[in-house]
């Protein structure tokens, strides 16, 4: 359910991999043995793909069980692959291609960077079928890198304030908490992948960090 594993050769697991409760999308060059770890831990099918021809899948897309919003440079074959998975697919307008870095979403809501246009926010809202709130977190706009959220809980940067934690709780509809991974990395969204079934975090994550992740993402209740 909760593992610390070297999946991509560096701590930035969430930059390369996108996970929902239904599927994990991983780069074509990911070793099959690593893909199997993801499949077993998150209890999902693993699909090898790319976005805009890039292996930075987690940075270039945000998804929930309803849909996926991707870089405007997505390829036609990639769109078809996501549609075949049963997802609504939409591109985000404008110059901000790193969608996964600037939006965090689950099936209840989404938080997006405030520099996104109203048109972009509307596309995210309609594609993911959630209400979207735009605001900075912990003084920055890289929302997706700062938060790892599932339908059971969320882990947010250690620099988030109590007001921001309460705001995230209201938007996502689940409990959560601050934390770090990888011996103090506050970009928890960029350095982990997770869904309602499990999580994989940077290999160097400490015992106390793992305990905080387990609690924040709502896995402790499953142990009783």
pTM of the full predicted structure? 0.96
Sign (positive/negative) of CA torsion 67, 3, 205, 157?
A: positive
Q: What are phi and psi of 62, to 5 degrees?
A: -135, 140
Q: pLDDT digits over 182-216, tens only?
A: 999 999 999 999 999 999 999 999 999 999 999 99
Give the start-to-end residue ranges of the domains of the chain.
2-223
CB atoms within 10 A of CB 92: 28
- Mean of pLDDT values over 22-35: 97
- At the topology level, CATH places domain 2-223 in 3.75.10
What integer best gives the mean pLDDT of the chain? 96
Q: Is the pLDDT of residue 50 over 90?
A: yes
CB 114 within 8 A of CB 136: yes
- pLDDT confidence of residue 94: 81
CB atoms within 10 A of CB 9: 10
């Amino acid at each position: 359910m909760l593992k610390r594993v070297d999946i991509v050769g560096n701590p930035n697991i969430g930059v390369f991999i996108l996970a929902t409760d239904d599927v994990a999308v991983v780069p074509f060059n990911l070793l099959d043995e690593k893909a199997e770890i993801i499949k077993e831990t998150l209890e999902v099918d693993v699909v090898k793909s790319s976005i805009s021809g890039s292996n930075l899948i987690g940075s270039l897309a945000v998804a929930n069980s309803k849909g996926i919003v991707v870089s405007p440079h997505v390829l036609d074959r990639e769109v078809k692959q996501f549609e075949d998975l049963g997802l609504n697919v939409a591109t985000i307008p404008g110059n901000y291609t790193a969608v996964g870095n600037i939006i965090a979403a689950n099936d209840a809501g989404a938080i997006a960077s405030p520099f996104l246009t109203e048109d972009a926010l509307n596309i995210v809202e309609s594609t993911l079928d959630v209400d979207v709130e735009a605001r900075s977190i912990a003084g920055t706009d890289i929302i997706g890198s700062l938060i790892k959220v599932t339908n059971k809980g969320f882990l947010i940067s250690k620099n988030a304030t109590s007001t921001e934690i309460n705001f995230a709780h209201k938007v996502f509809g689940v409990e959560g908490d601050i934390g770090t991974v990888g011996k103090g990395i506050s970009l928890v969204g960029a350095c982990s992948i997770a869904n309602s079934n499990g999580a994989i975090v940077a290999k160097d994550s400490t015992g106390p960090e793992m305990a905080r992740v387990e609690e924040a993402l709502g896995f402790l209740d499953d142990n009783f």
